[in-house]
Structure 1
Amino acid sequence: MNKLEVPGKFDRAARGYDFLVGINPGYHQALRLSARALGLRPGMRVLDLGCGTGASTAALVAAAPGVEIVAVDASAGMIEQARRKRWPSSVKFVHSRAEDVDEGQFDAVFAAYLVRNLPQPEDTLRHVRGMLKPGGTLVLHEYSVRDSLVSTAVWTLLCSFIVPVGWMVTGDRSLYTYLWRSVVDFDGATALRDRLRRTGFTGVRSAPVPGLQLGVVHTFRGHAPEQEQP
């Protein structure tokens, strides 16, 4: 399965997605930890890229009630599931690819489990940087195991549960075998920090998210430059 097929696969998996993340211990707590790294304040405008069925959106609402959130996903099925839930009037859902978003400028951008699935990640990250106000904050909440054999082994062990359960719930094994392989092949934390710097972000830092997936899921934080270089 190639990355261009991922949104369509999520369309078909959307109905069972909330059940699958719901049985993942600490999934929502980890998202809330990363959302808090944005340092949100009421009145800010936030872009939630790759919002799926709204788990990351809910984490943003919990982090700072009153922020304006534009939540975007390339999967129509996932957006449909998200829209069925009850949300504050300050939340808007948009069906769009990340690289095509045209919703103005934002104080902050949150992207959970997204960059690994992008066909052209650096082009999209540059586009995201351009949507941030000067000094605005980007936080990525992402799997990254390549720097550690132990973390890779932990991820593979977790997938020995995730793959069969996902297959049972959705009837599609390919999405969950892709999930395992895409994480194993993706950037280590060092490489992803370097990728953010190459695409123009400053003050780049990362830290592993505590809990069951320690060393598997990380919070990456960077900023748009205060002033773009000529």
Structure 2
Amino acid sequence: MTLLRGDALSAAFDRGSAAYDRLVAASPGYHAHLRRSARRLGLAEGGRGLRVLDLGCGTGASTAALLAAAPHARITGVDASAGMLDRAVAKSELAGVAFVHTPVEELADRLRPGSFDAVFAGYLFRNLADPDRTLELVRGLLLPDGRLAVHEYTLGPSPVHRAVWNAVCSVIIQPAGRLAGDADLYRHLRHSVARFDTAPAFAQRLRRAGFAGVRVLPLPGWQTGITHTFVGRAAAEAGRRS
């Protein structure tokens, strides 16, 4: 299968936006895991005085998780899908968030270097044509020593993890997507995970991009070995070189 990229993927998310919240809510632990990953940013004092970027915010599930972890932070949500972003903007609980409609590849044209103390990215990097370039952009948007947390489907090294993912997709995720009229989007979900980095490989990608103190943290439930939180900091030396 050819994965959806760029405008084609944004259009698929536009079409799937109406059913998206309902489908993810049916996934055990989905929202709790996002909240756990957001807490792993370790923002002190509820994020008071901090600027936080929610990269690939979608319908705002990750934004809500950030608000729970850092209610006093100034949060900016960015997404390439107008349909998904419209759903986020319409949620009253996210009224204090600034939302920006732009592909991540164009962030450098919309946001100043060193604009953020922390960046959160949920379910984003496996959807990108060039994740290394995006990591470089993210590092530039962070202040030196700024924090990054990535919440992503990244399979563990055991063949069992891949087998569980494929079984869950075959029996639950893809049938639900077909019923919602979003077969292409959820077929993309399955194969984008299967073709993306394993958890150790993505950790190495972060280190190569100039992030220090990278840790890979597991999540519980059926997602064990399938979904991970990656945390790190923009290395001050790398930030000065850029």
Could you tell me the TM-score, scaled by structure 2's length?
A: 0.91
Alignment match of 1:163 (pick from 145, 149, 174): 174
Runs of 4+ in structure 1 deviating by more than 2 angstroms, as ranges, are: 87-90, 226-230
Measured against aligned partners, the alpha-carbon deviations of 1:166-217 in whole angstroms (never above 9, x if no partner) come to: 1111x13111111101101110011101111111111111111112211110
Any conservation in 2 of the 1:67–1:90 contact (CA below 8 Å)?
A: no
**Counterpart-to-counterpart distance in 1, 2:202 and 2:154:** 8
Residue matched to 2:122? 112
Structure 2 counterpart SS, 1:180: helix
Structure 1 runs not aligned, ≥5 long:
none
**Counterpart-to-counterpart distance in 2, 1:90 and 1:84:** 12
Bigger Cα displacement from structure 2, 77-86 vs 139-148: 139-148
* C-alpha distance 106-124 of structure 1, shift in aligned 2 (>3 A): same
Measured against aligned partners, the alpha-carbon deviations of 1:20-42 in whole angstroms (never above 9, x if no partner) come to: 01101110000000000111222
Alignment match of 2:5 (pick from 3, 25, 38): 3
Residue matched to 1:12? 15
What is the one-letter code of the residue matched to 1:45? Answer: R
Residue matched to 2:216? 206
Residue matched to 2:230? 220
Structure having the higher helix fraction is 2
**Counterpart-to-counterpart distance in 2, 1:63 and 1:211:** 21
Residue matched to 2:84? 78
Measured against aligned partners, the alpha-carbon deviations of 1:128-177 in whole angstroms (never above 9, x if no partner) come to: 000000100010000011522111111112112010111111x1311111
Structure 2 runs not aligned, ≥5 long:
none
What is the one-letter code of the residue matched to 1:74? Answer: A
Q: CA deviation at 1:88?
A: 5.0
Any conservation in 2 of the 1:114–1:142 contact (CA below 8 Å)?
A: yes
Q: How many residues align?
A: 229
Residue matched to 2:34? 31
Q: CA deviation at 1:124?
A: 0.7
* C-alpha distance 66-229 of structure 1, shift in aligned 2 (>3 A): closer
**Counterpart-to-counterpart distance in 1, 2:200 and 2:182:** 33
Measured against aligned partners, the alpha-carbon deviations of 1:80-113 in whole angstroms (never above 9, x if no partner) come to: 1111111355311111111212333100000000
Structure 2 counterpart SS, 1:177: helix
Q: Does the alignment pair 1:128 with 2:134?
A: no
Q: Does the alignment pair 1:52 with 2:58?
A: yes
Alignment match of 2:163 (pick from 153, 159, 180): 153
Residue matched to 1:64? 70
Residue matched to 1:103? 111
